[in-house]
Amino acid sequence: MTDKKIPYFLALAPILFLIILLSINVVMYDDPIGGANQLALLLSAALASVIGINYGKKWKEIMEGIAISIKSVVPAIIMLLLIGSLAGTWLISGVIPTMIYYGLQILNPKIFLFATAIITATISLATGSSWSTIATVGIALLGIGTAIGLPLGLIGGAIISGAYFGDKMSPLSETTNMAAAISGVDLFDHIKYMMYTTVPSFIITLILFSVIGFYFTSDISSEEIEKALGVISTKFLISPWLFLVPISVIVMIMKKVAAIPVLFFGTLLGGIFAVLFQPEIVIEVSGTSTNTISSYYIGVINAMIGDINFTTVNASINDIFNVAEADRSDLLQSGGMYGMLNTLLLIFCAMTFSGSMESTGLLRIIAEPIIKYAQNTGSLIATTASTCIFFNITTSDQYMSIVVPGRMFADTYKEKGLAPENLSRTLEDSGTVTSVLIPWNSCGATQSAVLGVATLTYLPFCFFNILSPLMTIAYGYLGIKIKKLDK
């Protein structure tokens, strides 16, 4: 059977079907990411495959496309498992409790959100990695914010806003390099041109967090904070030396060491410091009562793999601060690698859907008519931004949202006399930052799992991520900082 032209409405059918199923899941399930959304993605992938086969595609081609799609996220899967194990060893070593301990003394509730965005932006800018920033400092900041009574979604929004600003502006960032390369722009010209939209978006974000912080009222007294500090210091040995662990990780990333070896090193270093600083904790986690090498080994491995929850300490802190059940982040809990398995399943199913849509040619059919709507500069940039978001939703992959629209629109920008910096900036303003807002995107699923906050809970407060595409579209229609091609 030869390939036949697939009608446009049929090409859209799997996406519409997915949207319907996801909407039903949100209504019917308290936790749709617990399995219902995974099945929705697989059913939608099956529909795409049936349509493709009916119009001449071979099953082998579709499976090869799915395999390629899944292969593209293998590094992310490995990183996610390592982030789970790192959280475990950093918890039992006292690294995270120490960061929370000192943070509670330094960060005032009025400035906490503003400071959180600044801290994560600085570290992400230095390391070029929003994932590493959120998985390390972000977890500690979430614990501090929860302890002083701030809502989880608000804290998560501040952490993610800062981390993605730094990631976007860092010359070490993979997505920054990719957007520049796919558009044919010098890396530092790309970063310089991004500043026109990115810096104002982040300034507005900081103002919003400052205003929210100013009007935030906390009933927590200094005495209650002292009690919480006492609870943490009673359970863990608190020492500034424990900061060597996160500092080592940050320095390695700044030295351009690959993320996977860095996370592996950080996990092992956390295990070593656990044995040195918290031997009683390690033995407790091991489930034994003997002070032996085997107990230390079992305790560290258990922390890397399984669930660690210091229930008594958590309960004491929650009682001190009178934290409502809905706002608890379980700051002294880690799911280890096992805690990431549900997220890995979500990513796997999302890439199955992505691979089936791409290999059957449905994505190409959907994307082709979009270009003809770009009649002027404003509509071209708006169409590019919308396409990036569309690919973040449909392909569930941040890189695809940069690469595919970059290839699609490159010639159109040239034909309209626009410099490629306009394209590279739009790809980052719309593709990089919105990936974390999609629950089934690899970025959204990962950050939700790492922070323990549902994507739709932190989404309304990711001000920077929401403002960035709106800012770049506004610049396009208003003609602000639109660079023309040199004649």
Rounded CA gap, 140 and 238, in Å? 14
% residues pLDDT > 90 (the chain): 29
All residues at 6 or more sequence positions from 390 whose CB lies less than 8 Å from its CB, including other chains: none
pLDDT at 326: 46
**pLDDT of 1:** 45
Predicted confidence at residue 276, as pLDDT, reads: 93
Mean pLDDT across 250-276 = 86
All residues at 6 or more sequence positions from 373 whose CB lies less than 8 Å from its CB, including other chains: 379, 383
CB 459 within 8 A of CB 162: no
Residues making up the chain, counted from first to last: 487
Q: DSSP H helical segments within 376-435, as ranges?
A: 377-394, 400-415, 420-427, 433-434
pLDDT at 311 over 80: no
User: How do residues 14-25 score in pLDDT, each as one tens digit?
Assistant: 988 988 887 888
Residue 325 has pLDDT above 70, yes or no: no
pLDDT of residue 476: 92
In order of 39, 142, 351, 389, the CA distances from 395 in angstroms are 16, 29, 7, 10
Query: How many Å apart are CA 473 and CA 380, to the nearest integer?
Result: 9
Angle, helices 187-215/174-183, rounded to nearest 10 degrees? 130
Mean pLDDT of 464-472: 95
Lowest-pLDDT range, 127-131, 238-242, 449-453?
127-131
Which ranges of 93-215 does DSSP label H, i.e. alpha helix? 95-106, 112-127, 130-133, 139-147, 152-169, 174-183, 187-215
- Is the pLDDT at 242 greater than 60? The verdict is yes
pTM above 0.85, yes or no: no
Confidence (pLDDT) at 308: 78
Residue 327 has pLDDT above 60, yes or no: no
Least confident of 269-273, 327-331, 478-482: 327-331
Could you tell me if 436 and 465 are in contact, meaning their C-beta atoms sit under 8 angstroms apart?
Answer: yes
Domain residue ranges of the chain, discontinuous segments joined by +: 8-18+32-74+339-478, 81-334
Measured CA to CA in angstroms, residue 108 lies from 96, 111, 347, 382, 459 at distances of 19, 6, 37, 40, 24
| Mean residue pLDDT across the chain | 84
Query: Poorest-confidence range of 49-63, 218-232, 274-288, 420-434?
Result: 218-232
Q: What is the pLDDT of residues 143-189, one digit of tens each?
A: 888 877 788 999 999 999 999 999 898 887 878 888 888 788 888 88
- pLDDT at position 436, please? 93
- Residue 460, pLDDT > 90, answer yes
pLDDT at 465 over 50: yes
* pLDDT higher than threshold 90 for residue 459: yes
Residue partners of 248: CB distance under 8 A and separation at least 6:
265, 266, 269
pLDDT of 74: 83
Tell me the pLDDT tens digit for each residue of 363-420: 778 777 777 777 788 889 999 999 899 888 877 778 778 877 887 788 788 888 889 9
